[in-house]
Structure 1
């Protein structure tokens, strides 16, 4: 959990390229999570992951509008305000 908090705090201070990688990584991971929930993951854990990812993305908005729009669609589908 501490590592996740650090990513939320650190992400806004990364280089533009690093922010692009973070956005693409979150998009890939969230799409994969929607497609196939890992064994042992509850709906609550999935929702917590989506919430955490949205907080990371919130800190790096303005990096790439196309990736952000795709992420927003996933967040909205999951019931998370953007």
Structure 2
């Protein structure tokens, strides 16, 4: 999860300034949803913190695993050149 969403999430679980941190978290989630899911902008109004957290953790895992082969190829190419 990006830093902008991690900090408010941690503060909410600690119980400090819940209203302020919830607003920060919802703004971060909204911005990320707009960036990642341009086809379904109307879905934003129906998301909860729990579902958005789950969605972003799954998205990050998928993105990481899709980048792994690219990173491996890049590292192999760079290391061969050395």
Task: State the TM-score, normalized to the length of structure 1.
Answer: 0.39
Q: Over alpha carbons, which structure has the higher Rg? A: 2
Q: Which has the higher contact order (CA 8 A, sep 6+)?
A: 1
